[in-house]
Structure 1
């Protein structure tokens, strides 16, 4: 679980609630109709932007901001080097019997063991990387859509509240409370967009970049093994993907 996402959202909400409580009137910031306008309008706008299947799929993608595991490139490189040693001692076909935990690496090993050409192996694995990026971008775009729609519907709710307020100017004492309620939709929209939807979209982009990097390491390793490179050379080539501190750690 990614604690940073949870801490960020809860911490941001906690700071906002604390400032409201210190102001003395927390119930003045609670208005169900305003919340309905912002949430309902935001969801409706996203349903117009994207197919229903994409919107539903984005919920599953969004869980990656909380539940995705951090990639471990050092472990991946170690496994690739072990495969290179196996291929050098026995044969490329022998790799097919190896226990490979990473599905993408496993596919590459199977292609090499089946005798596919380097060009074909590279093309197939590159295509999988491209389609992975495309799938992830769909989920990211849904959250970006939510982030852009929430403030807009917050402003729409504020305008509706102002119109209703101006229609009832006969009672001056009601202007202040009515204005406060009208502004709450903008308040809700800003919180949803800037504390949840847009940061989550950005976190998903980072997750996608991490996964792409992980897959590129696997691809480079598979092609190096197929070319018959020495395991030590394979290790040095793949460690070039790592930061200097991680290279020293990996040995």
Structure 2
């Protein structure tokens, strides 16, 4: 484990691109100070990281950025979601608190203890969650100032078989799940994603995971911010759990690049 890892990184794209590829769950890095508060032994922790990490999604986003005619921006989390999960609400609004997976997890994917149940999450929220949220908010603000709109595309993956922590995992598990928000996912963006990912055996909508990420400063308030979540079923591109990527990675990078290009060309 790295004792001083980079918490997050904004990788610049073209000045005239509104697109930010957001990659929040691709890293396995846990600072030593955070590792000390996790009750799993090293072997169990590595297995949990296999299950919880959206492995290789940063590489998919990088491949898309390289292939897209106009490069998107990328905001990549450099730390594991076992440090903090930047896509959770940091308070009682978060429904995943019911399974010990708020902004700071206390349970594993298999509903076993990860941290003591009475741990105070606030130090980790202050140290990692709020700076991440502020930086992502600033990245969106920069795109709004530069081009008058921002399009956040969340890049995730999910396991082929349902894990015990999933609250809504009893529905379809398509090769590509597209997560939407009623206020921030325009029909044109969803249609472009459905077309871009049509070659992977089907796309589904908001199952097994729903919604998408919008910084809270803009959520429900600013229609200039559009957002879509792309959830890729892991057997499409990698060995599970936590194994190497296969040939599907390049194809997914190409499909994501096609979506980015459609956003640029259509002014979505």
TM-score normalised by structure 2 residue count: 0.22
Q: Which has the higher strand share?
A: 2
TM-score normalised by structure 1 residue count: 0.23
Q: Which has the higher contact order (CA 8 A, sep 6+)?
A: 1
Q: Choose 1 or 2 for highest CA Rg.
A: 1
